[in-house]
Structure 1
Amino acid sequence: MAHLALSAARRWAQSPLALRIAVVYLTARVVTTLFLVLAASLSTSFSRFGADPGLVDFVLGWDAQWYWLVAENGYPSDLPLTDSGEVAENAWAFMPVFAYAAKAVGFVFGSWGAGALLISLVAGYFACLALHRLLRDHVGASAALWAVVFFATGPLGAMFQVGYAETLFLLLLFLALDATTRRDYARLYLFIPIMAFTRPGILAFALFLGLHGITRWFRRREDSLSGREIAHIIALGALATAAGFAWQVIAGVVTGDPGAYLATELAWRRHWIVGGVDGFVPFEGWVQASQFWFGLWGLPSWWGPTALALSVVAAGAALLYSPQVRALGSDLRLWSASYLLYLLAVFFPQSSTFRLVLPLSPLWGAVAVPRSRVWRVGVLALCLLGQWFWIYHVYAHGSTFWQVP
């Protein structure tokens, strides 16, 4: 028996990487499908999806409906208003690349939902390949493969199988980060514009490029920095910044309202703030949300900002001093810091927070660094437990404000 196990392990190690990742990915997707089937069987008339929904209902659920609406009807030239005269939720909050790509693929396979599912599944597999390539030179091939396992089976595993833009964005992000770490800046001229119109977050990448360039400048004696590379970094930073604000400009031009995009995003935030929201103030959302959640839990509201400050300090300390995180290299730590700062500046934390931290997935490499089998199996078990918990609440019983993915 031991000989057979050793032989199987040897064949597994010698098989092509793409095949091993495909086995990991498909196994993870089977598990997620079983979770979704179980969630469908537990769904009741009180759920958003009603009693006995099908898997197609989950694929098209929640924000996938907005992407479908974009693909079918485009974007409104007149912003919809609430009874009180404020801008209501509308399609301008959702970028066009995924919506129209799913429509193009769906034209071949018969429906927008089929196109959305295929793009999410296929992009998810290639994102796993890209994540392994991004991590292997820093943490080794074995740890990189375990990071892929955690990524594919993580608490947000359902995102690989629903009509959301997340996996397509992650694929583009991992490729862009890999190009940056390998100093292959030319590829970024393609990735940055597509990322910018797939999902919000390109401004975080602009900040990352700035920090990357500053770091390379101070390390230029150890890591030579040519004038050509300086020109690329500056041009790409400018491109990412311009692309990051382009959607706001487009929404303003089409609707005739320069603040159309921000007003649309704030339309979702108004549901959480007593008295509504007057306008967008950077970093205000997290303070407001921390007070909201701690008050909802029956705790003193001032505990919220205190907990937020401590969390920021803890995250900064981990990025600076944790040996496992430092093993990822400076670029991936700079990206993580940039994206966290971006979230702090623009986001109002609520039930979608877990989905919005997916761009921090390269940090799975730090989780995978410890070589203990008990540790890795334990993390895998927690990933699967977290995935079922998330699917159970979002799809089986998704009916209230804190169950929106």
Structure 2
Amino acid sequence: MSRGPATVRDRFATSARHYGAPLAIYALSRVVTTVFILVAAPGRTVRMEKLVGYHSTVPARLPADYGSVVTSWDGQWYWDIVLHGYPSTVVDTSGHAVQSSLAFFPLYPALVKAVMAVTGLGFEVAAPTLSLVLGAAAVLVVFRLLEVTVDRGRALACTALLCCFPATAVLQSAYTESLGLLLVATTLLLLVRRRYLWCLVPVVLLGLTRNITVVLAPVVALHWLVAVRQQRRDDSQAPAPVQHGRLALLVVACVAATAEWPLLAGLLTGDARAYFRTLAVWPGYTQSPLHPPWLSAAGGLGVGGWVGVAVLVLAFAALLGGRTQRAWGPELWGWTVVYPAYIFLASGVTSSLIRYLMLAFPFGLVLMPPATTAADRRSRLWVVGVFCVLELVGQYVWVDQFLVFSGPEGGFGYP
């Protein structure tokens, strides 16, 4: 009779030991980020309500404190959704499209509202805390994904690089990055394990969180192609017959999920293009990936701009085109190639790009070729340590100059 509870305790202890390291990395990094925010917060000397284009649901306190910082910027829009729901129109009295909360996807504010209802906490506590918890879950799933595709050592190192990334303050702010990272990593892990029907769950949820599900379609297609080639090469060693129907359904779902929120926004407003009309008011909006603003910016710089783009593309191809990188597997490698390309094609030249690129978390593996000797492992540890320090320096700059608004006379942009 006592073997059951003992077995449960043993499994819990084993899991705690196994996942304790990545969780400790995440916890320590959040302490450092919190210190950065507290140190930088007094720099906010001008009310953000006076910043052109800034939406304020609840006026910021002065002097600025931690709660004001982690619920600023996009957090104010999510606060508005929690308090007032979505509007019934995206145009003003003169018929012109305006910035609206319909540009922000509904799953995260719905979860925040549920937490507030259950706990009785206000948005200023519930939203950042939810992001923090979701971030911890995301880091654990990322670690597990990396562990099953490469190895534990590189998984821990890549997790550390992710936790030190300059924009990771949003993992404890009223932003959707924590939820988005969790859903992307979960989808990739389920894809690696060939749980194709289960993949549909995070894909559908991701479609209500961020407009990036379409990026997963070519990743699934690459996984499908590799599975077919493996089966044709050696039928006896193939792990299982290729499930063509389920993979086809998953590809279609990844594309279709992109339309979830635009369709719902159309139903809420009676305007089929409501989501895109309000999105177009924001700076950096891209009407077509066939005309990315990056290329327009490069063209404006003349020959030097085009040379710069060519160098960046060639460097990207060189970093990810080798056999060592392709050995990560079609899921990690595919996501690391396709997601930054999508950001390049679909995003404007804005300071938010740093935050967007956080989801390209497997890119850190570029710094970590397989280590065959103890000397290789020590060398890799030093390289990762140096890059973590550099990232933390960048993180302080990002918090100080982007996340914490310091008025028109200071700061580079918005996060």
TM-score in terms of structure 2 length: 0.83
Question: What is the total number of aligned residue pairs between the two structures?
Answer: 378
Kept in 2: contact 1:25–1:152 (CA 8 A): yes
Structure 1 counterpart of 2:253, which letter? L
Alignment correspondent of 2:243: 229
Query: Which of residues 158, 169, 179 in structure 1 aligns to 2:169?
Result: 158
Q: Distance in 2 between matches of 1:23 and 1:240?
A: 33
Alignment correspondent of 1:60: 71
Superposed, 1:315-394 pairs within 5 Å as 315-321=316-322, 323=324, 325-369=325-369, 371=377, 372=379, 373-394=381-402
Superposed, 1:8-87 pairs within 5 Å as 16-45=17-46, 52-81=63-92, 85-87=95-97
Alignment correspondent of 1:249: 263
Q: Distance in 2 between matches of 1:322 and 1:218?
A: 17
The 1:262–1:302 alpha-carbon spacing in structure 2 relative to 1, beyond 3 Å, is farther
The 1:266–1:348 alpha-carbon spacing in structure 2 relative to 1, beyond 3 Å, is same
Give unpaired runs (5+ residues) of structure 2. 1-13, 52-59, 370-375
Q: Distance in 1 between matches of 2:271 and 2:311?
A: 39
Q: Distance in 2 between matches of 1:396 and 1:239?
A: 38
Kept in 1: contact 2:352–2:414 (CA 8 A): yes
Alignment correspondent of 1:201: 212
Larger CA deviation: 115-124 vs 244-253: 244-253
Give unpaired runs (5+ residues) of structure 1. 1-12
Q: Does 1:93 align with 2:107?
A: no
Residue 152 (structure 1) shift: 1.2
Q: Does 1:189 align with 2:200?
A: yes
Query: Which of residues 265, 274, 287 in structure 2 aligns to 1:280?
Result: 287
Give secondary structure in 2 for the equivalent of 1:219. helix
The 1:116–1:332 alpha-carbon spacing in structure 2 relative to 1, beyond 3 Å, is same
**Alpha-carbon deviations, 1:362-396, whole Å to 9, x = none?**
22233344731321220111111010010010134
Residue 217 (structure 1) shift: 2.6
The 1:232–1:91 alpha-carbon spacing in structure 2 relative to 1, beyond 3 Å, is same
Kept in 1: contact 2:218–2:334 (CA 8 A): no
Q: Distance in 1 between matches of 2:22 and 2:352?
A: 28
Larger CA deviation: 97-106 vs 395-404: 395-404
Alignment correspondent of 2:10: none
**Identity, % of aligned pairs?**
27
Structure 2 counterpart of 1:384, which letter? L
Query: Which of residues 112, 116, 119 in structure 1 aligns to 2:130?
Result: 119
Q: Distance in 2 between matches of 1:314 and 1:167?
A: 29
Alignment correspondent of 1:8: none
Give secondary structure in 1 for the equivalent of 2:232. coil
The 1:22–1:226 alpha-carbon spacing in structure 2 relative to 1, beyond 3 Å, is closer
Kept in 1: contact 2:69–2:404 (CA 8 A): no
Structure 2 counterpart of 1:16, which letter? R
Alignment correspondent of 2:11: none
Q: Distance in 1 between matches of 2:298 and 2:189?
A: 38
Residue 250 (structure 1) shift: 2.0
Residue 17 (structure 1) shift: 2.3
Structure 2 counterpart of 1:308, which letter? V
Q: Does 1:139 align with 2:170?
A: no
Structure 1 counterpart of 2:345, which letter? A
Q: Distance in 2 between matches of 1:282 and 1:68?
A: 31
Structure 2 counterpart of 1:286, which letter? P
Q: Distance in 2 between matches of 1:395 and 1:377?
A: 25
Alignment correspondent of 2:6: none
Query: Which of residues 242, 266, 276 in structure 2 aligns to 1:262?
Result: 276
Give secondary structure in 2 for the equivalent of 1:284. coil
Residue 361 (structure 1) shift: 0.8
Q: Distance in 1 between matches of 2:45 and 2:406?
A: 10
**Alpha-carbon deviations, 1:88-117, whole Å to 9, x = none?**
111111110001101111221411222211
The 1:229–1:82 alpha-carbon spacing in structure 2 relative to 1, beyond 3 Å, is farther
Structure 2 counterpart of 1:239, which letter? A
Give secondary structure in 1 for the equivalent of 2:209. coil
Kept in 2: contact 1:156–1:355 (CA 8 A): yes
Q: Distance in 1 between matches of 2:16 and 2:114?
A: 35
Q: Distance in 2 between matches of 1:79 and 1:374?
A: 52
**Alpha-carbon deviations, 1:225-251, whole Å to 9, x = none?**
866611111011111211111222222
The 1:234–1:34 alpha-carbon spacing in structure 2 relative to 1, beyond 3 Å, is same
Give secondary structure in 2 for the equivalent of 1:357. helix
Kept in 2: contact 1:43–1:53 (CA 8 A): yes
Residue 173 (structure 1) shift: 0.8
The 1:58–1:344 alpha-carbon spacing in structure 2 relative to 1, beyond 3 Å, is same
Kept in 2: contact 1:121–1:161 (CA 8 A): yes
Kept in 1: contact 2:77–2:101 (CA 8 A): yes
Larger CA deviation: 140-149 vs 358-367: 358-367
Kept in 2: contact 1:21–1:145 (CA 8 A): yes
Q: Does 1:218 align with 2:207?
A: no
Q: Distance in 2 between matches of 1:334 and 1:244?
A: 19
Alignment correspondent of 2:8: none
Structure 2 counterpart of 1:101, which letter? L
The 1:399–1:308 alpha-carbon spacing in structure 2 relative to 1, beyond 3 Å, is farther
The 1:384–1:282 alpha-carbon spacing in structure 2 relative to 1, beyond 3 Å, is same
Give secondary structure in 1 for the equivalent of 2:64. coil
Alignment correspondent of 2:121: 110
**Alpha-carbon deviations, 1:337-382, whole Å to 9, x = none?**
2212322332213110011112211222333447313212201111
Residue 167 (structure 1) shift: 0.7
